[in-house]
Chain A
Amino acid sequence: MSTPLVDMRDICISFGGVHAVDHVSVDLQPGEVVGLLGHNGAGKSTLIKILSGAYAADSGEIYINGEKAEINNPRDARAYNIETIYQTLALADNLDAASNLFLGRELVTPLGFVDDDAMEAETRKIMARLNPNFRKFNVPVSALSGGQRQSVAIARAVYFNAKILIMDEPTAALGPHETQMVSELIKELKSQGLGIFLISHDVHDVMELCDRASVMKNGKLVGTVDIDDVTDDDLLSMIILGKRPGEAAEG
């Protein structure tokens, strides 16, 4: 295998005695989609928040393109072209779609004032691609439906030419049609050479979209498998029993 795009090694973090992530290692190749599976509370979101700079790990190392990376805050992660769709979406409800999409990276006029016109135009362009039905450009995102909010969060991650994309349950609030569109998007981005961490608890999605899957339980890594080597049931038993398919068969 070539040098991984992302290599998280032996990551630990605990919150007041709870080992949310306990010696977990995962990696990601360019053009690869790695699924992260596990029950609620398994530690998936916490793990990727360490990669996106939201949390600082207690111990462990992150390598980007083979080089040790210091990611201490979300700005650092962005500098490594890591973009994240958070499970909570992380939108400022009182701002409109364009302000959210460009939050922290506003387009400005030559005089340094925020250029709302330009940002709205760009937002219209990307939304035409991601969610052609989206019309609510001039209202706060609190007035949007769950699916619309989700598409704003997805647009924000996709717009800035990420090399590494983290998607934490990106289809949670979407209907079947919109979910299908996200699946198409993931395939398209993958073909462009992005590496994608896809957190999901839908085994079928993972089987369809991912190349490999890492399963977590109670903060620990159960194992990482090639999707071609396993069945839906294998993954399910890893999630539920916390054992790799081989172990389950032997045990």
Chain B
Amino acid sequence: MADTDAQLAPPTARKNLLQTLEIDMRMLGMLAAFIILCVGFNMVTGGRFLTPRNIFNLSIQTVSVAIMATGMVFIIVTRHIDLSVGAVLATCSAVMAMVQTSILPDMLGLGLGHPLIPWITIIVGMLVGTLIGAFHGFMIGYLMIPAFIVTLGGLLVWRNVAWYLTDGKTIGPLDTGFSKFGGINGTLGETGSWIVAAIAVVATLYGIWASRRNKIKHEMDVKPVWAEAVLAAVASGAIIGFVAIVNAYEIPTRRLQRMFERRGEVMPEGYTEAYGIPFSVLLLVAIVIIMTIIAKRTRFGRYIFAAGGNPDAAELSGINTRWLTVKIFGLMGLLCAISAVVASARLTNHSNDIGTLDELRVIAAAVIGGTALSGGFGTIYGAILGALVMQSLQSGMAMVGVDAPMQNIVVGSVLVLAVLIDTIYRKRAGAT
């Protein structure tokens, strides 16, 4: 299974603190790096980095890459690569922009602003993305063309299919309902966010308790109760902290006034309202949960890791590894489409260069998040953390005033360095 890395540490007679907590060391290292990064930028920018506004923005900027990174984990675990995700995102975005701005309202006569437009658009987009991905998977699995080549070709093809679809023009503004998936235009509000936080905390506590009960049932070693309590406290604290932060980010007064005017009301004096959790972040959370369940609790996920660990063994065990490849790449295409929804909704238009260089960010997120390029190991939560590290690095440097070329140089170097550290770590742990 995916999360066994931590158990590979050589057994020692006396457990140290971290072993008692059973924390994945690599995960902890990444978390530490992430925190140091954020605190560092915060100091350099004189406290501007860790403001509610910036954290809110950081989270909505990360969503699109993070969604695709969860799919990239499966692809890299099976020893493949997908260089086309940014281009597939662009094609999906172009198709969806056309569907919602002209095909549905004009050609099918739904009219602008029809409540079904966002949903039909999204379904069409997901279909297109899945088909493109599955087609890549077919060429890789059945025609035996290396994934590197298929998706390198795909990068050029789909980027330019998107161009032809739109004549290279920016399409916008997008449907207002659709734009709610982008972040700032669609948030849960203060009360809703607290309700979500409460549900999440309860679910987390239940999860920790259920896993402990399950381990006891199977006569496996369990952590001391205090260690479980520490983990529960940290997890709940993180959830509550995040919601408190996005609830502290208040909608600017002028924007609020406009919202009231649109409803034909007058804003009361001194009225304030916070954004709360963006829908796009909730979408990401849902995808992370689903992808984690796929990885750990379904045959599909089991076969992905088996095929990554030993392709021959998977084949000899009767797993149809070719069809598996089609499914994995189809899923990647689906996730590209969902990312396209978030990315274009955030900008409220489809622009020609949407998703450019996303393939590199997505691969970097998965790899920094501990997915082994040699196959067989990788976690969904690691990829999310990887995406967060990448985005904070980029945003932080922009805030500090590092120019764009230097930003790319730093991001590139960090990627190589992260893989180097990971390689050394794996050697020490004897994992590969």
Contacts and interface: CB of A to CB of B under 8 A. Distances in A.
Interface of A: 52, 54, 73-75, 78, 84, 86, 88-96, 99-100, 103-106, 108, 112-114, 117, 120, 138-140, 142-143
A94 B377 contact: yes
7 contacts: A75-B318, A90-B316, A92-B309, A103-B313, A106-B299, A114-B298, A114-B299
A143 to B, nearest CB: 6
Specify the main secondary structure of chain B where it touches its partner.
Answer: helix
A103 B8 contact: no
B299 A93 contact: no
Interface residues of B, number: 31
A93 B317 CA distance: 14
B315 interface: yes
Contact of B4 (A103, A117, A139): A139
Interface centre among A52, A105, A114 (most CB of B within 10 A): A114
Given A90-B312, A94-B305, A103-B317, 9 more contacts: A96-B1, A99-B1, A99-B306, A104-B314, A104-B318, A106-B299, A113-B297, A120-B218, A142-B431
Interface in B275-294: 293
Contacts of A52: 316
Interface string B191-227: 0000000000000000000000010011010000000
B318 A92 contact: no
A128 to B, nearest CB: 14
A64 to B, nearest CB: 17
A11 B214 CA distance: 51
Contacts of A143: 8
Nearest to B312: A90
Interface in B2-33: 4, 7-8
Contacts of B220: 138
Contact of B312 (A88, A113, A138, A140): A88
Contact of B306 (A86, A88, A92, A120): A92
B376 interface: yes
Nearest to A156: B317
A157 B309 CA distance: 20
B1 A95 contact: yes
Nearest to A89: B313
A54 B310 CA distance: 15
A108 B301 CA distance: 13
